[in-house]
């Protein structure tokens, strides 16, 4: 969908009339969890066909008025992103590769027949959100401010066509650890359900993909596992991704493999970053197909020595056990591997300004 957006919009600031009390905020920041609490403000920008993007504002966080006939409620035109803001040891605030999030957001918009948001406007909206609530960084180890930009169709009509009106918003949530089990490595369940099919929306970050994952994820939780693993739709043998994370495999010959992007896998920004960091470590990096049977055999023989999942929320997380209807197997010792820990430490170090950023990934905003 063509966009007649003005990339130089001025943001109107609407301070919150009753922000959360300092004492209450401190209690939240001491134990934020993930996605449970939200900051005082949110960014909003409207889109109208023929007018483009307009009405940029930083407003008090609160309910969104929505007509019962709004297109998003009937035809699921909705996309989102996830990224984090980090506070460094010097007190500065930075974003990690926000331009990459902006690019992926627009790729999702194109797939869902939604208007694209200029990349600089996306980044500025995120910056405005962070600066409005810069006092919301949590006081826990590894804490960050998780940012959720999203867009949905707001036009009121019934008829199968793209909406002519949209709302783009950014909300923020103080974040601690994503996984709650406390285990050194996660356990995953191989689902019989399919996440995405060729020609579908697997490469788009849209809500419908996640809605389809809720039943298999609940099944994994009920069986005592931390996440769900999806295989390909055609043959149900090739490893694709977890419920919301990409996968990597580390072999004893110093090579590393991740499933290739075929249109059914979300192109993760953490995934892309790790591919580059692993290559710089001297590893042979491959993108290709990897079957569940081969995974099981390589784990049994010792050829596969580590496996890990990655994503914005969980960063880098070791995979220790894989289970399914055909049985279960353990990777290595079942705990975090050396390379997994090394890559995580390097990535997190760059994100937090503790390791020099030689890639231009970190965007300092304060």
Segments in 167-251 forming alpha helices (H): 207-222
Angle at 104 between CA 339 and CA 313, to 5 degrees: 45
Question: In this prediction, what percent of the chain has a pLDDT beyond 70?
Answer: 96
Q: What's the rounded mean pLDDT across residues 63-85?
A: 97
What is the band of 313 on the pLDDT scale with cuts at 50, 70, 90? Answer: confident
Q: How far apart are CA 292 and CA 295, in angstroms?
A: 5
SS3 66: coil
Average pLDDT of every residue of the chain? 94
Measuring CA to CA, which residue among 258, 231, 234, 251 is closest to residue 242? 231
Q: What's the rounded mean pLDDT across residues 113-139?
A: 97
What is the band of 318 on the pLDDT scale with cuts at 50, 70, 90? Answer: very high
Q: Are 143 and 174 in contact (CB under 8 A)?
A: yes
Rg (CA), the chain: 21
What is the band of 184 on the pLDDT scale with cuts at 50, 70, 90? Answer: confident
What is the band of 2 on the pLDDT scale with cuts at 50, 70, 90? Answer: very low
Check: pTM over 0.85? Answer yes or no.
yes
Q: What is the pLDDT of residues 38-53, one digit of tens each?
A: 999 999 999 999 999 9
Q: What's the rounded mean pLDDT across residues 201-213?
A: 95
- According to the model, what pLDDT value does residue 176 have? 85
The encoded tokens of residue 354 equal 């503790």
The encoded tokens of residue 195 equal 């996440």
Q: How far apart are CA 20 and CA 252, in angstroms?
A: 52
- According to the model, what pLDDT value does residue 8 have? 77
- According to the model, what pLDDT value does residue 50 have? 97
* Number of C-beta neighbours around residue 247 at 10 A: 23
Q: What's the rounded mean pLDDT across residues 126-130?
A: 98
All residues at 6 or more sequence positions from 161 whose CB lies less than 8 Å from its CB, including other chains: none
Place of tokens 């993930």: 34
Q: Pairing state of beta strands 83-87 and 165-175?
A: unpaired
* Number of C-beta neighbours around residue 16 at 10 A: 17
Q: How far apart are CA 90 and CA 112, in angstroms?
A: 41
Q: Are 95 and 127 in contact (CB under 8 A)?
A: yes
What is the band of 177 on the pLDDT scale with cuts at 50, 70, 90? Answer: confident
- According to the model, what pLDDT value does residue 244 have? 84
Q: How far apart are CA 107 and CA 7, in angstroms?
A: 18
All residues at 6 or more sequence positions from 225 whose CB lies less than 8 Å from its CB, including other chains: 186, 187, 188, 189, 323
DSSP 334: S
Q: What's the rounded mean pLDDT across residues 129-134?
A: 97
pLDDT at position 172 over 90:
yes
- According to the model, what pLDDT value does residue 179 have? 60
Q: What's the rounded mean pLDDT across residues 269-274?
A: 97
Q: How far apart are CA 243 and CA 226, in angstroms?
A: 10
Measuring CA to CA, which residue among 214, 182, 224 is closest to residue 323? 224
Least confident of 49-58, 138-147, 212-221: 138-147
Segments in the chain forming alpha helices (H): 22-30, 71-75, 98-111, 119-132, 207-222, 269-280, 292-301, 338-351
Q: What DSSP assignment string belongs to 17-52?
A: SSPPPHHHHHHHHHS-TTTS---SEEEEEEEETTTE
Determine the distance from the C-alpha atom of residue 231 to the mean position of all C-alpha atoms in its chain, rounded to a whole number. Answer: 20
């Amino acid at each position: 969908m063509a966009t007649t957006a003005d990339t130089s919009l001025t943001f109107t600031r609407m301070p919150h009339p009753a922000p959360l009390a300092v004492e209450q905020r401190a209690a939240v920041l001491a134990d934020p969890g993930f996605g449970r609490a939200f900051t005082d403000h949110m960014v909003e920008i409207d889109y109208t066909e023929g007018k483009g993007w307009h009405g940029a504002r930083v407003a008090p966080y609160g309910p969104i008025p929505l007509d019962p006939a709004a297109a998003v409620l009937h035809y699921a035109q909705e996309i989102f992103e996830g990224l984090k803001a980090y506070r460094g040891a010097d007190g500065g605030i930075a974003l990690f590769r926000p331009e990459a999030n902006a690019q992926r957001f627009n790729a999702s918009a194109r797939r869902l027949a939604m208007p694209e948001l200029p990349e600089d406007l996306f980044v500025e909206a995120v910056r405005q959100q962070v600066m409005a609530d810069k006092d919301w960084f949590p006081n826990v180890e590894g804490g960050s401010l998780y940012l959720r930009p999203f867009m949905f169709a707001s036009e009121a009509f019934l008829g199968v066509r793209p909406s002519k009106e949209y709302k783009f918003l950014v909300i923020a949530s103080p974040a601690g650890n994503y996984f709650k089990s406390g285990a050194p490595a996660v356990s995953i369940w191989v689902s019989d359900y399919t996440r995405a099919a060729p020609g579908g929306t697997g490469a788009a970050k849209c809500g419908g993909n996640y809605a389809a994952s809720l039943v298999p994820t609940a099944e994994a939780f009920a069986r005592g596992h931390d996440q769900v693993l999806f295989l390909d739709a055609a043959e149900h043998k090739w490893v694709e991704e977890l419920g919301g994370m990409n996968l990597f495999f580390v072999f004893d010959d110093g090579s590393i493999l991740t499933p290739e992007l075929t249109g059914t896998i979300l192109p993760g920004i953490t995934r892309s970053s790790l591919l580059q960091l692993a290559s710089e470590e001297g590893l042979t990096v491959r993108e290709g197909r990897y079957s569940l049977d081969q995974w099981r055999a390589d784990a049994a023989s010792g050829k596969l020595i580590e496996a890990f999942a990655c994503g914005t929320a969980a960063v880098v997380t070791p995979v220790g056990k894989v289970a399914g209807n055909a049985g279960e197997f353990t990777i290595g010792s079942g705990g975090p591997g050396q390379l997994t820990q090394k890559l995580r430490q390097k990535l997190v170090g760059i994100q937090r300004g503790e390791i020099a950023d030689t890639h231009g990934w970190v965007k300092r905003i304060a």
